[in-house]
Every structure is written in C-alpha cells, then in structure tokens.
Structure 1
Amino acid sequence: MTSTITPSDVDLREALKSLKSTNPTLGIPKIHALLLQTHPEWLVSEKRTRKFLQSEGLVLSTEPAVLKTPYPSSRVIRDLDVQKWSTKVEVKYFNKNKGKGLVAKEEIAEGEVIWREDPFVVAPEWEIYDLQASSAACSYCTTPFTSSISTSLVTNCPSGSSECPARFCNRLCQARSAKHHPLLCPAQNPASVPLLKWARESEWLALHALAQLTSRLILANQLDASGKLLEEDWRVYSSLAQMSLEDRAKYCFGQSEEEAKNQPGWKKAYDLYIQAFRNPASSAEQKKLAKLYKKSLRADIETELFDYHGFLRGLGRMSLNLEAHGGLYTLHSHLNHCCVPNVSVRHIDQRNALSRITVVAKRDIEPGEELLVTYVNPNNGVVARRQELQEWGFGQCMCERCVKEAKALPKDEGKSSDATGKTDEIGALDMTDLEKELKAGFGVM
C-alpha cells in the first residue's frame, strides 16, 4: 500500500504514545518502523516521529525514567495441562507487556463449544451471595435451589452447626467445598465473619474473591502433606495478571504516592483480612482458627498473601481476572482483550452448575489465531472503552474498531461522541471520585 495520508498531530501523538507504552525499551528508529507497520497508509518522516517523541518526553536518552507507568504483568503457568479443558487451544507467550494468551491449534467453527470450565474460586454476584447466605443457593457451585434440584439431595455444612447457612446441591458439592469453605464458615472460623460482612456492605467483589482464594491456598497446605496441591494452586495464583491497587491509584487515577498509600478503605479491608486468617480478635476465635491452621505456609507465600503490599497486589489480581459473574478460572484467565472479540463466555448450565462457564466461538477461528474476549462493555463508544482499559494500565486500545471510531469523532474540543452518535463531555468520564474509582476495580461497574 502506498503511503499517502499525513496524519494530524493529534492522531500521530496518540499512536506514538500507545506504541511507546507497549514497547518502552525501543528507540526512535524502531518505534518509527513500528508506526509505519501499524499504519502503512501514513506518510511520516523519522524526523517528525523524533520530534513528537521528544516533545512528549518519551526518548530514553533524554529521560531515563521514561514511562514509569506500570503495565499489568502475568506469567505462564508451568506444567499446565491445557488438554484437560480443550485439545483445540494452546498457551502462547507473546511479550512482556501483553504476556500470555490462548491461540487455536486447529480450525474452530462459529458456534462451536471450545471448552467448559469450573471456577478455581468464585465470589458470586451479590444477588447470588445473598441467596447463599439465606440457604437458598449452593455454597459451592452457586446454583439457586429451585424445583429442578431434589431437596432430598441438598446437604448442610459439615460443621453441623446452625450458625452456618451454607447448603449444597448434593454430597459432591459438599465434598468439593472442603477446598475453601471451612476458613470462611462462621461456625468453624467466626473470625472471618467481619471480613465477609464488610465485603458485602461495600460490595467489594475483589475482596470477597481474595478471601476465597486465600482460604483455598491455606487449606491446600493442610489437606496435602506432600505440598503438591499447594504448589499447583500457588502456580495458578502467581501466574495471574496483576497490578497493585496502589499502582493503579497512582498511575491510572493520578493520585499522589502519599494518597495511594493511605486509602482508609484498603487499610480497613487489610485489618479485617488479617483478623480473619491470622490474628482473630478473641481467644475463642484464635482456638477455632488454630484447629484449621496447623501447618505453616512457605515463607514466600506467607509474605505475598499477608504483607500489606502483597494484599494490594492480590486485590489487583482478583479485579483483573474475575469473570463478569465473579468466578476466577484458570484457563479463562489467559484470554486477552479485543473490542471485537471472537469468543464469548456463557453460563449455560444454570440448573445444575451455574458457576461453570462455556466458551463459544463467535465466528470461525483459524489455526494460530488468538482467542479474544472483551474486557469492557462493547456497546460503549470508543472514548468510554479506551478510558476503562486505560484505568487498568492497558494503554490506549488501537484495535481496528477503536481506530476507525476515533477517526469518526467530532473535533469539538473537550467533547467526543460514542459509537451511537451521542456526545459526552470527556470530563464526565474522569473518575476522580474515590468510591467510583474503587468500584470500577471491584467489579461493581
């Protein structure tokens, strides 16, 4: 294709910022080459590229601390057996910024089920959580108790105490719940009650998910003397894409380092978290926790879970990886974003395994092609979609759809229109209110 279009200063600046944010170590010549590769229709000299990079402070030689903005990081899960979910996909590591993803190993037809997956842990939507708390939904698979579930199969919490409202679809769900339920059971570990109560009151889905995951890791250490189960679970946890809430507050919402360190809500959550799993308030609660917690965790795991900064990283992991309905899934967590996804994630087994997801192809997928979902509401306009992605440090989305919609935006300063033709003040999208910022990460918005 012949380069015939000279991009405007605004378009060039946006493109260079995006390329530099995803390739922070590349010099000017390589960024320029990448720019022309990304936009083959553009006519841009290297001199102009250099000028814009220097004006934006994006040149390594003139500003050593270039692009301090952190990017969500992840790692490949060692020895992950993908075939227990699907023979049609495989894990691929792309680069430091993008991390891992899933690509097709063979042709996948539109509408084809690619895999089904039960959650590693689940912190269900609050409507379902309330059903669980009132003994009206399974505390393991989250399925509400309806006429389709035989009441003769429903079982109670193994503690046998009326203090715990947990009920299960059947003995299988009850048995599987041993991986996480005991440490969050009000009868077996009453120290967990204030934490879960506050998570519910604040509608903080990520906090509830982190509690579920912490419980699973601690109990894995108790249930398997060999340590193999804990090692497997820890590999899953530590591989998840993560960005600390502290980094998010500083770099994505523009708070000062002091403001980011002193969030009262985070401090309270941390105190309740430590109270639930480490230092119960009363001696009676301490004795109950000691019955469940007889074997110490490895020092590195202990630090990552219970150090304050590790706690914030854990919350970041939950917020980044939770599926829309509150589940955390091992293989699903590998999926990367696109504003025009080629797969969809559905909850099809609503009568017997509500938390199970089914991943379905939205169109034909070729071998070697990456499987992609959308992290944001695809019905939003380009400004809203890009804003939401940038709030988690993903940089400006430069997918084909975003680039096309951005070019169609009106040039009115301070305004931009969404994909439906509505016009919104860009200022209205700025989430400066802390409560709104937090909810965006908690899974509420």
Structure 2
Amino acid sequence: MSVDDENDDRMLEAMVNNSLLPTNQLKECTSKEEADLILRIRRTILHLDEDPTNDRSSPKNDTILSSSPTTSTIALSTATLDFKIERAKQKYAAGSLEEAFYECWKIPSEQRPLEIWKLGGECCKKLRVFAVAQRWFSEAIHVCRSNNTDLNIKLEQARIARFFNNYLTQYPMIDIRIDQRGKGIYAKRVISPGEDIFTDIPIVHAQTVDTLSISPSCTTCTTSLLTPVVYFEASWSRMPEKLQRQIEEYWPTITPISCPYCPFELYCSELCRDKAWNSYHRILCPSINPETTELYQFCANKQIIVRETWNSIFSPMVLAKLIAMIILNIVNSVQDNDTSNGIDLNHSFTVEETDEGPLEHAKETFSEFISSGDPTYIRTIPRMLKIMRNIFNHPSMPVHYEFNEQEFNYRFYQIACNAQSFSSPTYATTIYTRFLYNIRQRDKSGLYKTLQTYLKGEPVDQVFGGLFPLQSSINHSCDNSCEIMDCQVTPEAAGIKVRCKHQLKPGDELTINYVDLALGRRARRAMLKRAYNFWCECQRCTFEGDDAYSCTECKTLSPVIDNPNPNLTNGNAPFRKPFPACSRCRNAWYCSSACQKQAWKQGHKLICRDWTKERSSSSAN
C-alpha cells in the first residue's frame, strides 16, 4: 500500500472511531458513515491493502494519484475529470456500485458536477447507506441551483429510508414511498381484514388536559393509577373506616410513585420514574426550573382551555416534552463526543445551529412529522408562548435553545397535525371492573349492596396524545382501509397497532381517517383543509354528495321552485326542489337515473356498500 493510501486509511479510521483530525483533512468525508463506507470499499472491494497498483488506470495526467482526495487541493484537468466521470458511469452500469461510488468520491468535491453528485447518491441509496445518499443528493440540489423536482424526491426518499429503515426491516409487509403527492405507506403483499399490520410506540406523549385531573395514570407507560380515594372523591371521607378497609381489600393493588422533587408527575414504578427523568423530566422538573410550575398548573386546571386548543388529544405538555427531549439529545451527544469533560447541567452552553451540528442531529428525531397550519392562530394563545419562552430561556437550561415565536409555531402545528390518541389497555374502567368482579366473586357480607349508594358508575378512562413515527406516515381517506387500536407493545410501553379493515393488495396504500366520518362530505373536507391544508379527493368524497340540491355526478343544481311556506325565508337564495337520494346509503343525490347509473359504474357501488355496512354495524352497536 502506498503512503497516500495509508494516509487515507488512517484518516478514514479516525473518522469511524470519532478521533479528532484537522478539518481540512476530512473535507471529502463529511460523516462517519461516509468514511466507514469508503474504508470498507478500499479494503474489501478494491483490496488496496494487498495491491498498491490497483485502481491506477487513469491517464498519466491524473493528478489525484499524487495525493489522496482527502488532502489534495490540486484540481483535475478537464481530460482527467471527463475520464473519471465516464469510468464512474461504466462501473454503475455494470452493477459495481461500490466501485462506482469510489470513483465518484475520488473526484475532489469542488469539481464534482451535478451528474456525479447524483450518481454517488444513487449508489449509496442502492447500497442502503442512506445517510451518505442523503448528503450527496443534498449537494446535487445545491449544485443544480434550481428547483429540481426529481432531485427533491430522491433526497426525500433517502431521508425517509434513513429514518424508517429499522421499521421496514421489522415489518416486511409494508413499504414507505414518496412521490409528488408526498409520503405514504403501501402494502407489499396481500393483507387480509383483521390482520395486524404493525405496532408503533410514541416518541413523545402526554395525558390530555380533559382527563388529567379525573383519571390519574403513569406519565411514562400510561397505565391507570385509579385509586379508591380518586374514584369515590368526597364520598370516601364520609365512609366508615370498616367500609374503606373492605374496598381497599378488593381494589386492585396500585401504588403510585411520585417524583421525589415535585408533586406533579405520578408513575407506576421506579423504572418508569427513572425513564421519565432521563428523557425529559430533569429539564422540566420545577425543582430545577421553577418556570415549569405554571405549565403543570395550567395542564391540571381543565377549565383553562382556550377555544378547545388543549382539549381532545393535544396537551401543551407534549410540546414542552418535545423541546426538553431535543435539549437532552444535544447534551447526550456532546457528552458522548467529549467523555472526559462531560456536561454540567447547572451551567448553560451555546450550540451553533449548523447543518451537521448537534442541534440539527437532536432535532432529526422529529423531522419526519409534518407541520402545517395558520400562523395567525398562534397569536390567540399568547399565554402558552410566554410560558414556553420562560421555561426554555431559564438559566437552568444546560443548552441555550432559542425558543421564539417561529419555533413555537412550527412545533405547535407539528404536534397538532400528527398527535394520535392512545392509552394503555390497563384503563381506569379495567381497574373498576376488576374491583366489582372481586366483590361479586369473593364477598359474602353484602358489600356490593352497601356500595350501591356510593358507586358512580364507570370512571373516565385516561387518554394520551402522542407522536408516532410510523403511524404519522399514513395518509387520510374517508374510506379508510385501516383502523388504529390501543395495545401494549412491550411490557414497559403502551402504543398502538394498525389493523387492516379492508383487504389490501400489493401496492395498495394504507389509509386511516383524520376526522369524524359521521360528518357530511362538506364538513369533513372543510375540516381537513383547515387542519391539514388539503382537500380530500378519496373515493368516498368523490362519489358522495354535499346536499340534495346538487347532483353528485354532474353537479347540476336542482330546479328552482316557489316558496313552499310563506312563513319561511331563505334570504336572497332561491328555494330548490331536492333531488332523490341513493336508496341504500342516502349520501348521494342524482338529477336522473342516467347520472345514478354512471356514478354506480365509476365507483359509487364500492363506497355505497361499505358505507351501508358500516352504518348498519354502528346502529347495531
């Protein structure tokens, strides 16, 4: 091996092992993954450690032979550059992806044309080194200096493949694709109705505001922590002590554990408590950051709901936890790279926001969640923006994180567009049902009859909202092919499972519903446009009508008629005669039998049958 090759290997190994080298020596390998790939190609594919003359077939004026690409600053001649480009193309055409990428890499970065950046990205994509492919496609877009749709799609494909590679390996029946419409999940084989497709665990989650105060649960694993004191409320203090002891005897054993430094979070075990502390709570604990007290009090007071912003599945605690996790990711990455010094959580340091910096790497976990919404809406909730600013600009923060209105807007809609409700299968209702079962099976003293004056019926179940990386990639359809169900993914973590609703063939897209399907077509589409910024064009919206005064097929308005009741007013709008509805689903209206037959042939028959079946099932339930 030549001296230059030895220098290459030394520097590449240094990058792989995270050793420090002068930055000018590493300008051609901008990541550990790229250095690892080049080192592997040099040693296992090209065998440069065995044959120093290998891969030296370029013209005599190939100046790259005189020094390695990581240290060379000498530009290649036009003839040499053309030769190397052509050789890289030939290697790629022959299927030698490793050698093709190596040829691309040997060209100095400042001389790489668009086709080489693109070719190198394609090689890495097929080699499944997605981090490197992402970087090369990004450079190709930079060199292109124009909006190239094809390159943008390739970059997004590489980024998504990098993010979801582990998921797709675990669930071979699905694939994630991206095109001009965006990202989606598709079936790779036939999936039958009722078959579980995949499970998903939230990256970040929090209990909803409207269930937090009435249905206590473990903050980490979402297991219900409903105790007799919470269930019976004021009635508990009025009960005789003997009755209280009897209730506690039959109530399922629950021992809530609180944070040792604050009273705001409950856990079912020390394991859950430690997990919460290490992932976010050491940033948000009021004992460390007093500004978070107002946030916890805000969430605990269900009366403080601004225009239902924090109702349903979105709690402001999800937003706070997300930022706290980003900060701790930065801290952990800096600690990993500087194990000798570590990070003092009592002293803040500033992290530069660069493309390859620790801040961008820390944010990357949440980069796959879309963010879309009306920026002016944020101004209607100024109190929460103020609370978040006070928290993350507090001196206790180990990292200076600039939390401004723009960041708040982006993160707010990132959660609003992707939050999915879920809970542990150990619901509050489950605990209550076990309690009644224990009494009926074991009690002989008439306790159940005595309790009738105190029982309030089934308790409210705990509900959490979380961000699920795989589920968030499923698109909407009002004729959804899948449904989401709660499940216990692992003994320590609750999550969701996606179950097939209609049979899927290879290539069919998995879809779920984002809105209440009981709403009419116009209301559903308006809600989707307002919340997610798209007009639904699914089969159901295509073949379902808005009202009885417009033909669903040809859009002809119904004929104008005289006012049927002089006491009725319709403003300036004329009165119209309603068209007859589809006799089966009652969700489409036609001006003639010809339009009805045409719509039936084009696809209404599929929607009509499914919708009629669902409505019958709902009525039966």
TM-score normalised over the length of structure 2: 0.45
Q: Deviations over 1:35-82 (max 9, x none)?
A: xxxxxxxxxxxxxxxxxxxxxxxxxxxxxxxxxxxxxxx985434322
Contact 1:381 1:420 in 2 (8 A): no
Q: How many residues align?
A: 309
AA of the residue aligned to 2:286: P
Aligned with 2:217 (options 113, 133, 137):
137
Q: CA deviation at 1:234?
A: 1.8
- Distance in 1 of aligned mates of 2:163 and 2:291: 36
Aligned with 1:221 (options 306, 330, 354):
330
AA of the residue aligned to 1:319: A
Name the SS of the counterpart of 2:273 in structure 1: helix
Partner of 1:242: 371
Identical-residue share of aligned pairs (%): 22
Partner of 1:394: 533
Q: CA deviation at 1:398?
A: 1.8
Partner of 1:176: 275
Contact 1:344 1:373 in 2 (8 A): yes
Aligned with 1:156 (options 258, 265, 271):
258
Q: CA deviation at 1:334?
A: 0.6
Unpaired segments ≥5 residues, structure 1: 1-73, 250-259, 280-285, 297-301, 424-445
1:119 matched to 2:223: no
Tell me whether 74-83 or 366-375 shows the greater mean CA deviation.
Answer: 74-83
Partner of 1:195: 295
- Distance in 1 of aligned mates of 2:318 and 2:374: 15
Q: CA deviation at 1:230?
A: 6.8
Change in 2 beyond 3 A, CA 1:193/1:234? same
AA of the residue aligned to 1:185: C
Q: Deviations over 1:188-207 (max 9, x none)?
A: 32211213433552252253
Q: Deviations over 1:104-159 (max 9, x none)?
A: 22222211111112211112223442257xxx31011221125897546x5432xx
Q: Answer with 1 or 2: which has the greater Rg.
A: 2
Partner of 2:127: none
Name the SS of the counterpart of 1:324 in structure 2: strand
Superposition CA RMSD, Å:
3.5
Alignment of 1:49-88 (within 5 A): 76-77=159-160, 78-80=162-164, 81-83=166-168, 86-88=171-173
Partner of 1:10: none
Q: CA deviation at 1:318?
A: 0.8
Contact 2:200 2:489 in 1 (8 A): no
- Distance in 1 of aligned mates of 2:541 and 2:384: 37
TM-score normalised over the length of structure 1: 0.61
Alignment of 1:252-331 (within 5 A): 263-265=379-381, 267-279=382-394, 286=395, 290=396, 293-296=397-400, 302-303=401-402, 306-325=403-422, 326-331=465-470
AA of the residue aligned to 2:390: Q
- Distance in 2 of aligned mates of 1:110 and 1:243: 32
Change in 2 beyond 3 A, CA 1:150/1:90? farther
Contact 2:264 2:296 in 1 (8 A): no
Q: Deviations over 1:261-308 (max 9, x none)?
A: 8x242x3221110101113xxxxxx4xxx2xx3344xxxxx45xx121
AA of the residue aligned to 1:194: E
Partner of 1:46: none
Partner of 1:62: none
Name the SS of the counterpart of 2:421 in structure 1: coil
Alignment of 1:25-36 (within 5 A): none
Partner of 1:383: 522
Q: Deviations over 1:204-263 (max 9, x none)?
A: 2253321121111112222342379976652231221111431xx5xxxxxxxxxx68x2
Tell me whether 411-420 or 215-224 shows the greater mean CA deviation.
Answer: 411-420
AA of the residue aligned to 1:197: Q
- Distance in 2 of aligned mates of 1:127 and 1:352: 27
Q: CA deviation at 1:89?
A: 1.5
Name the SS of the counterpart of 1:242 in structure 2: coil
Contact 2:319 2:412 in 1 (8 A): yes
Unpaired segments ≥5 residues, structure 2: 1-155, 227-249, 338-356, 423-464, 551-557, 559-572, 590-621
AA of the residue aligned to 1:243: S
AA of the residue aligned to 1:175: D
